[in-house]
């Protein structure tokens, strides 16, 4: 069971850290994957800007329970065959990184807002286009009627501060170069560094809800 008061306290702490890191207009996405519907309600009560979900089936199960009125961002690896079932539930698709996904979003969710995920670490486990591929995927997305709001990246796993700064600095540069507004980078372990590097959106899960648990209904 999620303690909503504890979540509210942690949200306040995260916002304070963001402010101290130099963030002035940074959106807080509460990552609710692997938590029950009470986590989404707690995020809404604590005035988070959105919640982030990673898995299509889990999100659909939560919508069947009755989702609170809060924007949902899809932040996990996105398969084109899941787009149709998710299309009516997602306010922002953060992890778009393939032509097949762009094409399916264009068919099923024309006019949708997206972020293009960029690989800024070179780690095999990380998704995302290379910086060299970014322009072509953006053009394809816009030609399919999608609204490219910005870019997203996942920082290095267990990275040093210098490694994180390199990754986040690369994304901030690309956002500026592309003339975009949303720079989604930074998670529970590294969001203060990301904010200092110019993040406008952080994705925090365990920093708000504690260790992950299995979803219970």
Average pLDDT, the chain: 96
- Give residue limits of the domains in the chain: 4-202
What does pTM read for this prediction? 0.95
Return the CATH architecture of domain 4-202.
Alpha-Beta Barrel (3.20)
Band the pLDDT of 213: cuts 50, 70, 90: low
72 contacts: CB under 8 Å, gap ≥ 6: 50, 51, 52, 53, 59, 89, 90, 91
190 contacts: CB under 8 Å, gap ≥ 6: 155, 159, 164
Band the pLDDT of 40: cuts 50, 70, 90: very high
Distance CA 113, CA 147 (A): 5
**In this predicted structure, what is the pLDDT of residue 216?**
45
Three-state SS at 204: strand
Assigned token pair, 49 = 């800007």
Distance CA 85, CA 57 (A): 9
Assigned token pair, 65 = 């329970």
Band the pLDDT of 42: cuts 50, 70, 90: very high
Mean pLDDT of 91-116: 98
- Spell out where the chain has E strands: 27-31, 50-53, 72-74, 92-96, 113-117, 147-152, 182-184, 201-204
């Amino acid at each position: 069971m999620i303690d909503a008061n504890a979540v509210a306290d942690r949200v306040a702490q995260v916002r304070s850290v963001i402010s101290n890191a130099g963030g002035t207009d940074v959106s807080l996405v509460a990552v609710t994957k692997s938590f029950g519907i009470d986590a989404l309600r707690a995020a809404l009560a604590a005035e988070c800007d959105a919640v982030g979900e990673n898995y299509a089936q889990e999100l659909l199960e939560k919508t069947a329970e009755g989702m609170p009125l809060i924007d949902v961002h899809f932040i996990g690896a996105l398969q084109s065959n899941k787009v149709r079932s998710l299309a009516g539930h997602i306010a922002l698709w953060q992890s778009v990184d393939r032509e097949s996904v762009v094409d399916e979003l264009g068919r099923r969710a024309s006019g949708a807002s997206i972020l293009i995920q960029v690989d800024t670490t070179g780690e095999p486990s990380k998704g995302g286009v290379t910086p060299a591929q970014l322009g072509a995927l953006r053009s394809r997305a816009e030609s399919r009627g999608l609204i490219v709001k910005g870019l997203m990246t996942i920082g290095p796993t267990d990275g040093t501060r210098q490694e994180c700064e390199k990754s986040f600095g690369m994304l901030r540069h690309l956002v500026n170069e592309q003339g975009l507004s949303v720079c989604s980078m930074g998670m529970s372990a590294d969001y203060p560094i990301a904010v200092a590097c110019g993040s406008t959106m952080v994705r925090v899960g365990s920093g708000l809800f504690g260790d992950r648990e299995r979803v219970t209904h």
